[in-house]
Every structure is written in C-alpha cells, then in structure tokens.
Amino acid sequence: MLRKAPTATLATALLCAAPFLAAQIDTNKDDVIKVDVDLVNVLASVRNKNGALVGNLNKDDFKIFEDGKEQPIKNFTRETDLPLTIGLLVDTSGSQERLIDIERRAADQFFSKVLRPKYEAFLIQFGTDAELLQDSTNSPRLLREALNKLRLSVQIGGLHPGPVPTMQNQAGTVLYDAVYLAANDRLRGEVGRKAIVVITDGVDEGSKLTRDKSIEAAQKADSIIYSIYYVDRGIYRGGGGFNTMSIGPNGEGELRKMSSETGGQVFPVSNRLTLDEIFREIQEEMRSQYVITYTPPNPKKDGSYHKVEIRMANKDLKVQARKGYYAVEQER
C-alpha cells in the first residue's frame, strides 16, 4: 500500500496542493483546517524571447481563461518555498543500457542540489516493468543508494519487483504505465508542487495504458512532466535488434505531448546541452514558478475536463503552464 501524504498544516502549503484547494481557511480552533472555497491552481513559468526565465512579474502581467472565458485572478504569488515532490523516472530498457551510468551520476548531483527542507523525491526505474527503488525522502544519501540500484530491465517480470505494481507483463518499455503510476499512486495525495522528471528515448512498446491516460493521471495529480529525451543513437545505428523507426521525431513527439499538456517541456540531450545542464535548467525553473489561482465558474466535481489558458500582457513573453484540469474530488 502506498504512503499517504501528511496533512497540511500551513495555509501557504494549500495553495498548490491540488487542482481544487482551499483559499479561505479557518485555523482558529485546534489548528483544524476548514475548506470554504475551492480554487483552481495553476503553476506557470515565463520566458522572454531569448528563452531566459523571467521572475519579476506581477499579477497584472497575466490573464487566465477557462474554456475561453476570462476569470478573475484570486491569488497570485511567486512561490519557491512551497513543498515540492519530485518523481524521477529512469528508462532502464535495453536501448538505454549504455546511458545508465551517466544518468546515475547526473541525477545524484541534481538531488544533492535541488533538495531543500520541504522538498522530497522518489525514484522509479522502468523497462519491461516499473519498480519503485526509493520512496519519497529528503535524504540525498538514500536517493544515491537507490540510484546505485539502477539496472537493466529487459526480462519479463523483472528482477526483484518493487512495491510499485507492474500493470502488465508484456515485453517492451512501459513508459506510459510508469508515468501513470508515479502520478496516480505517488503524487495524487501529496501536498505542494509536484513534478515528474522522466529520462527516456520516448519509446513505449509494452504499456497497458495509453499516453493520453498517463497525461490524464498527471493532470489529476496536478503534476508537471519534464521529459529528458536521451537517445543512444549508436545502439540503433549498430543494429542490436532495436526498431529504428521508434526513435527520432516519434519518441520526442510523444514526450512533447505529455510535457506540454501538463505545463512542462522536453529537453533533448545533445553535445550542446548535456544531461547535467538540463538538470540545472529544471532546477532553475522549479525555483522560478508563479502560482495563480482562481474560482472555477462551475464548482461541480463531475469529472469533466476544462481548458485553461494563460495570456501575457507582454506579447514577447512566453508562458508555460498546464492546458487544463479535471473537475474531480481531491484527497484531503
């Protein structure tokens, strides 16, 4: 059974806890939090025309729309100190075999630099199955030990399956299943900001669930997906039994769809943009986010999907935010 998130005790922590959260809170009696008004919460990052993050904007620089209709912004802040849970998902299928050591070292550096007192991270590897190597923790040491357990996952059933249940046992790479499990089983009940960082070549050849279902799970968990597109092209060029049609534009395009729908982005690893530099970029973005909340025009929790759009007053600025949310009851 997966661990439940701790009960929030701070009003600020609630602003980013889920698609619908409390704005008017009564904590005068025995520190009990009472929810009076539900809000839609959106995390946004803004870049200028040169691609640099912009962190000095105010409420008047943003307009937010739900299903095409502008909504009054109720709360606006730049929050870098809210709780943050990061799920790192590492592709350990056969096509990634020669990249695992590089990923292990870069991820270790990332965890050691990004984790703060109110931040936690967990680690999942996925190939023919998905395995939770480390539950949510604030300890870089525990995460480092888990990273040292990364291993090739190419056999049906895997070696020593972990507590994250595999959704099926077909051969292949269960990318979409792994994203779904991280979002639905690990992040949906957490408070604060939530992010999934997935390192993969974008190939999925065994998931029971579709890409759209993994996106839906991330949206319901109020989680951003950052995709690191990492391809060992030498493996594909050299044969090795891998399908060359599964990489290139196809793999990257699948990742781009998952990331753009949830407010994240894709970072292709190249000679000019190394894995270390990408982790630094993600770290900087997590520390430069705006929190925008508004009252939904339709408060019904009927499971319907609502489109969200943020427009900038300055047309030279580009905003990055999730494109919608599902009106569902959240775990409290």
**pLDDT of res. 83:** 87
How confident is the model over 183-233, as pLDDT tens digits?
999 999 898 899 999 999 999 988 999 999 999 999 999 999 999 999 987
The residue assigned the tokens 């775990």 is 331
| One domain, residues 298 and 156 | no
Domain annotation covers residue 331: no
Domain CATH number, residue 221:
3.40.50.410
Domain annotation covers residue 112: yes
Assign 25 a pLDDT band (cuts: 50, 70, 90). very low
Task: Share the mean pLDDT of the chain.
Answer: 81
Domain CATH number, residue 305:
2.60.40
Going by C-alpha positions, the residue among 109, 129, 107, 90 that lies closest to residue 230 is 90
What are the Cα distances from residue 175, in Å, to 128, 214, 264? 9, 9, 17
**pLDDT of res. 29:** 34
How confident is the model over 35-65, as pLDDT tens digits?
334 889 899 999 999 999 998 999 999 999 9
Domain annotation covers residue 53: yes
Domain that holds residue 17: 11-80+289-326
Domain annotation covers residue 3: no
Comparison of pLDDT for 241 and 294, the residue scoring more? 294
Give the integer Cα–Cα distance in Å for 23 and 293. Answer: 9
How confident is the model over 141-173, as pLDDT tens digits?
999 999 999 999 875 444 344 444 444 444 579
Rounded to two decimals, what is the model's pTM?
0.81
How confident is the model over 315-326, as pLDDT tens digits?
999 999 999 999
- Percentage of the chain beyond pLDDT 70 is 77
Count of the separate structural domains present in the chain: 2
Assign 80 a pLDDT band (cuts: 50, 70, 90). low
